[in-house]
Structure 1
Amino acid sequence: MDDSGEKTMSLARKALKKSFQDITADLFPILKAIGNIKRFSILVTLLDGPISFQTLLLQSKLQKTALANHLVQLTSVKLIQKPTYGIYDLTMDGVEYLSALHQTWMQSMNVHQKQLQRIQSRPMSSMFIKKLLHQE
Structure 2
Amino acid sequence: MIRGIRGASTIAYDNPELVMQETKNLMERIIRDNEVLPENVASVIISTTADIVSAFPAKAVRSLPKWEYVPVMCTHEMNVPNGLPLCIRVLVHVNTTVPQNEIKHIYLNEAVKLRPDLTK
TM-score (norm 2): 0.27
Comparing both structures, which one devotes a greater share of its residues to strand?
Answer: 2
Comparing both structures, which one devotes a greater share of its residues to helix?
Answer: 1
The one of the two structures with greater contact order (alpha-carbon pairs below 8 A, sep at least 6) is 2
TM-score (norm 1): 0.24
* Structure with greater Cα Rg: 1
